[in-house]
Copies of this chain bind each other. A is one copy, B any other.
Amino acid sequence: MFAPLAKPSNNTSTAAPCIDQIPILTRVIPMSVLIVGSTALDSIKTPRTRKPRLLGGSASHAALAASLFAPVRLVGVVGTDFPRRYLQLYRRHRIDLEGLQIRDGKTFHWSGQYEVNMDHRRTLRTELGVFETFSPDLPPAYRHTPWVLLANIAPSLQIHVLNQMTRPRFVAADTMDLWLNIARDDLNALIPRLDLFVLNESEAQQLTRKTNVFQAAQSLHRLGPRYVIIKKGQHGAVLSGPRGLFLAPAYPLPSVVDPTGAGDSFLGGLMGCLAQARGPVESNLRRAVICGTAVASFCCEGFGLSRTLRLRRPQLEQRVRELRHLTRF
């Protein structure tokens, strides 16, 4: 049984193409970001604490981060056990839920455990639930969304979403080592269709067979994407594009409560920031990477989405200024 969460409203179904047609110089309303990925319940264990059934998943983290900057359209699936308060929480953050399916069955549930230094995590259990048969079919109103974020999910589903889009302005995708191991062909079909491909250092090395991160970035460009970001966790991120490299630091946190979703928050913040900015992507991308970095740092300061949800734009802007000061010489 497929039950879209809300009927398409007239507003929603026409908003995206209209905004897209406004000449660039008069554009003041941030454009929407479509985000597809996992919408899950996370049970997280750290050396000090255990938190069961938090709101999680790549799409949840990315959507909440992006919603700080721009309207978000969420594409995902949850089961009938999905707490009502989590739906309300999405809505409070202006996240359009027309693309969120509620299906008979259980919500995707992930359990993981972090080691003492929070650098390594171990998956304890994965229960796919309704995710097992998820097909991200888009409401018509979503198909003209200019900014598309394919958060971490099976690449076949990322492709399925992309196939339904009408000339998106910018498409970014994240992935994970699992898909490199079990869905390489799908990933190979996806990558050439991306404007921005984001992955972490070990994934980039695995995919390109280059141990050097800058060589890996060059190999990834040759697969198609104009922009590549290689995430290095606490060591920051490297953006590679036509204007060369940008070396972004991570925000210096004296302690990390829970890094779950930091990478998704990074990319969500980045895409939200791009969507609300005027002018060409090339001119805005460095600042967008830093916005993503700042959101990710807040994400790490609380369990699940607890800190991100309390985040306001002035706090975020303050951290962006700090990052500028921390790197200036």
Contact = CB atoms under 8 A, between A and B. Distances in A.
B326 A255 contact: no
A290 B329 contact: yes
Contact of A212 (B255, B325, B326): B255
A258 to B, nearest CB: 14
Interface string A211-254: 11111001000000000000010111010000011111100111
A238 B252 contact: yes
A324 B254 CA distance: 26
Interface residues of A, number: 34
A209 to B, nearest CB: 11
Contacts of A287: 329
A282 to B, nearest CB: 13
A249 to B, nearest CB: 4
Given A211-B116, A214-B254, A253-B214, A289 B329 contact: yes
Contacts of A215: 254-255
Interface string A261-297: 0000000000000000000000000110110000000
Contacts of A117: 211-212
- Determine which residue in A117, A215, A246, A252 has the highest number of CB atoms from chain B within 10 A of its CB, and name it: A252
A247 B326 contact: yes
A329 B286 contact: yes
A327 interface: yes
A245 B326 contact: yes
A115 to B, nearest CB: 10
Contacts of A324: 329
A244 B286 CA distance: 24
A244 B246 CA distance: 23
A252 B247 contact: yes
Nearest to A325: B244
B245 A252 contact: yes
Contacts of A214: 252-254
A60 to B, nearest CB: 27
A255 B234 CA distance: 23
Contacts of A245: 252, 326
Contacts of A327: 246-249, 327
A235 B252 CA distance: 14
A211 B244 CA distance: 33
Contacts of A253: 212, 214
Contacts of A213: 234, 252
Interface of A: 116-117, 211-215, 218, 232, 234-236, 238, 244-249, 252-256, 286-287, 289-290, 324-329
Which 9 A-B residue pairs are closest in the complex by CB-CB distance?
A286-B329, A235-B235, A117-B211, A247-B249, A214-B254, A327-B327, A247-B326, A214-B252, A290-B329
